[in-house]
Structure formats: C-alpha cells, structure tokens
Structure 1
Amino acid sequence: MTLRLEAVAVACLILFAAPAFTLPAAAQAETAFPDLTFLTEEWKPYHYLEDGVVKGQTIDLLVGILRKVGSTQGRDDVVVLPWARAYRQAQQEPNTVLFSTSRTPEREKLFKWAGPILKFESYFIGKKEKNFNIQKSEDLHQYKVGVVIDSASAIFAKRHGIPEANTTFNSEGILNIRMLDAGRIDFIPIQWANFERLATRAGVDPSDYEPVFLADTVQLNFAFNLDTPDWVVERFQAAFEELLASKAEADSSDKTGSEVN
C-alpha cells in the first residue's frame, strides 16, 4: 500500500520528468550561471547531514545538475535548516532554491519551479488499535491532526477542512510523532516512508500505525525564489532533464547488455 521511495527514486525521476523548457537565447546561454543559495531539511535518504557533510539522493542529483550548467557550486553550498525557517527564507531572498518542495496549487505562485524530483502519496496516519473508519474528508473533522508549520501537511489539513481548533502546529515532524504516540493527536498527514523514519527516530514502533485516508498525491520539486531570473530556472530545468535522459539511456544499455550475456 505504501510507496518505498528508497527503492524507486530513480524510476520516479524518469517517469515524472516534465517536458523541457525552451532554452534561453544564445546570449543568455553563454552567461555564467550565478551562485544560488540552496536550502533543504533533514530527510533521509534524500537530503541529510552525516558527519558534517550534506548527503543523499537528491543532493547527488543537484550536484549533477550544477555540473551540467557549468556552476562551481556543489554539496558544500547546501544549507540544512528546519523546514519553516527555510520556507520563509526561500520566499524572501532572491536566487534562493528550496528543496524538496511539494508543488501544490496553494504554492504555485509563491515560487518558480524545476523538476519534478519525486512523486508519492501522503496519508492521514493513525493508530491501528483505534480502528478508524474514514470514508470522506468530513469524517476527519472530529479528530485532532498534527502538522508542521508551512509544510505540505498543513496544506493537506486545511484542504480537507480540518478545523483550526483541531489542528496542532509544530516546528518539526518528530514532535507530531511524539504527540500521536501519546494520544494528544489522532492523525498526521504524511508520506508513510517518512513516517517510519521519524517514528524510528522517536522510539515509536511504526507497525502500531497505518495509513487511514489519502491526503494527496505529491510532486516534489526545486522551488526558486520568484526574483530568480527565468533563464536561470530554465537552464536548471534543461540540465535536470538532460541528466535524466542520460541516466535512462545508461540504464537501458545496461539492461540490454545483461540480457545478451
């Protein structure tokens, strides 16, 4: 029922790549790619700090894109922050990129977008022992829901009509996990693999919980501050797609070779 992104990240990258942007004019194409501010949060295995080094699948993807656009920047230029702080900063500072950011209708005009990186489903997750019977959004309204400030989870709660009085806002997802385990809230709208990761960190057994009701299908993207020049976003997108195409071609060649052997 759940999507294990760890095993299919590359496949998702290929399947959900958007059509290529038109490349900028020749003069712009020859312009040196500017330095950008890259912001992200801790989310293993996609982007995380280990021994002071930023690592992860999406970080590797970003490094490949930066090489293709001729940038001298790399993983050392990525800053890991709490989500709410990074989200605000990305909206306020030009040439700032926030990832991985859920591209929702509510956020569409807040950023310029490149991607998508990944696609997955998020659910309202609750305790198995409570035997919830949720058939429609309105069935959730009587329950308490925990979300992260300025996150996709907050958008999902609002979209499904959860009363503000029943919504708890926290700065970190692990705080919602602890509240859920303590019975202070009933649901968290979150991707299952991310829930498992946070629950394990919090010392909570994920097997005591289950996805109860679909919150939304989410695409994760690179979100650029609105003041970032269009040609920068377009060149980044073009490099992103070239990288995916090269990867797909390499995978196809490997598969063909293995079948011949």
Structure 2
Amino acid sequence: MALILPCLTRAAMRLMFAMIFGTGIASASDIRFVTETYPPFNYLENGVIKGSSMEQVRLIAEGTDISYSVEIMPWARALATAEHEPDVCVFTAVHNAERDQKFKWIEPLLKSRTILVRKAGSQVAPRTLEEAKAFVIGTQRGDFTHDLLRNNNFPKIDLATDLVLSLKKLMSGRIDLVPISEKYYDKLKRDGEQIESVLTLAEDTYSIACNRGVPDITIAHMQAVLDNLIADGTQRRIFAAYGVMAEEGKTN
C-alpha cells in the first residue's frame, strides 16, 4: 500500500523510513532510469532530458537520496532493459495487466486516456472501436498500445520503431489511425499538428516500472516521495509548466 505523507523535509522522510523499515536509506540501490522521446512527458532539448515525467523522476530520485542516471532509447529496448537488467526503471510506462507482474511500480506519474487520431480532414471516421477495426492502425513496437490493439482483436496493425515514425506514416496516408495519449494529442494540437481525435481507446495510469530486483525499500521510498509530490501540489505545478492538463477530480 502506498504511503501518503504530509509535506516533509528530506531529513524527516529519511527518519520516518528508518523507523518504518528498521534501517537507514543508505541501503537504497543506485538506479538507471531509461525512457523514450515522448513529449511532453520525456524528451531531449539542447542535450537535456526534460518533460513532466522527467521532472517528477528527478525529484523522486533526489528525495530518495539515490545515485541515478537517465538515458533515452527506443521504447521497446527501454522496456526490455528494465525487465531484464537489475536496478533499472523505465518511464513513462502504462501499468496494464500484461506488464503487472513483470515490474515493481511507482505511480501515478499521470493519468490519461489513450485516443485514436487521424490526419485532419481524413474521411476515416469510425464511430465505434468495432468500426475502427476496418482501418490500418499504426503504433510503435513494444508499446502498450500494441498489446491493447491485439487484445481487442484489431486485425490491421502497422508497427514502427517509434511514435514519430507512426505519425509520419499517418500524415503521408500510409496508415489510417494512431493511438496516442490524450495529453500528447493536446500538445501536438498546440504545436499546430494537423490531426484530429476520433475515439477513446482506453483510460490509463502512467508510471515508473522497475526491475523486480530493485529492493522493496527503494520502491517504497520512491512511492512515498511521489505521494508527497502529489499531496503538496508539486505534481500539478509540473503539469502546468509543461502544458499537461490534470483530469477533473484527479489528484495528479
């Protein structure tokens, strides 16, 4: 169960965890965080990794007093690295049934809907998910949306190495629809991308997914820091800074 903490100093949090677990936080692991280019959550700008999820990961790592590094790579590789290599965590990962037992989870970095989008002006206009199955849907290899489409028996799935390539295919007419986060869709629209929302595919919790070998004490401490970021309004302020709208009635 996640610990929901009041606003605490780092020293107070360290003392609380020493009392709860009977040990100091010095036993916490060094963590290698891996991610992909997926603005506004995580992306590279002038050689610096930024984004609403990156800011939270940085604060979580600093609040947990762990040594850490962050690396951007293709999503399928990032997910596989976190699953198979010790002391690795991947973000921003959707927590779904297929991944649940493969990782330890810190969440939520955000909650969002996944929607199907089309090129603006396209005649592709399914009114239901069943109707959408008649069209070619593009997504990236290893992404949760691939599992989602397969589990819902979508027959025409086009796989790309990353989401940017899928969107390029969409704009060139090579595919009909692409599933993306609603918050990413909002950013693309603000940036002037000529796309339109068609249907809601799913509602999702986006998280940090850690290798099963990461110690429970480290997971618990990172979760407690994230809980505190949510409780004191820091997460919402980060969302505002990156143009990520929090959902009505949600704490994140």
Give the secondary structure class of the aligned counterpart of 2:41. Answer: coil
Which consecutive residues of structure 1, in runs of 5 or more, have no partner in the other structure? Answer: 1-17, 252-261
What's the counterpart of residue 196 of structure 2? Answer: 210
2:62 equivalent to 1:67? yes
Contact 2:28–2:217 (Cα < 8 Å) also in 1? no
Structure 1: distance between partners of 2:233 and 2:116:
34
Letter in 2 for 1:135: R
What's the counterpart of residue 113 of structure 1? Answer: 105
Task: Kindly state the Cα deviation for residue 51 of structure 1 after the two structures are TM-superposed.
Answer: 2.2
Higher helix share goes to which structure?
1
What's the counterpart of residue 58 of structure 1? Answer: 53
Letter in 1 for 2:21: A
Contact 2:135–2:177 (Cα < 8 Å) also in 1? yes
After TM superposition, which residue ranges in structure 1, 4 or more long, deviate above 6 angstroms? 198-201
Letter in 2 for 1:182: S
Q: Which has the larger radius of gyration?
A: 1
Contact 2:114–2:202 (Cα < 8 Å) also in 1? yes
Q: Alignment partner for residue 219 of structure 1, among 200, 205, 208?
A: 205
Number of residue pairs matched by the alignment: 224
1:59-113 CA-partner distances (Å, limit 9, x unpaired): 222222222222244xxx1111111111111111011100011111221112110
Contact 1:177–1:198 (Cα < 8 Å) also in 2? no
What's the counterpart of residue 146 of structure 1? Answer: 138
Contact 1:111–1:226 (Cα < 8 Å) also in 2? yes
Task: Kindly state the Cα deviation for residue 192 of structure 1 after the two structures are TM-superposed.
Answer: 4.1
Q: Alignment partner for residue 35 of structure 2, among 32, 36, 40?
A: 40
1:132-180 CA-partner distances (Å, limit 9, x unpaired): 44233221222111110011221232133111xx111100111111211
2:134 equivalent to 1:170? no
Structure 2: distance between partners of 1:243 and 1:195:
25
Task: Kindly state the Cα deviation for residue 190 of structure 1 after the two structures are TM-superposed.
Answer: 0.9
What's the counterpart of residue 234 of structure 1? Answer: 220
Give the secondary structure class of the aligned counterpart of 2:27. Answer: coil
Relative to structure 1, the CA distance from residue 199 to residue 173 in structure 2 (aligned partners, 3 Å threshold; closer, same or farther) is farther
What TM-score do you get using the length of structure 2 for normalisation?
A: 0.78
Structure 1: distance between partners of 2:4 and 2:53:
21
What TM-score do you get using the length of structure 1 for normalisation?
A: 0.76
Cα root mean square deviation, aligned: 2.8
Letter in 2 for 1:240: L
Letter in 1 for 2:173: G
What's the counterpart of residue 3 of structure 1? Answer: none
What's the counterpart of residue 250 of structure 2? Answer: none
2:196 equivalent to 1:190? no
Structure 1: distance between partners of 2:33 and 2:158:
29
Give the secondary structure class of the aligned counterpart of 2:232. Answer: helix
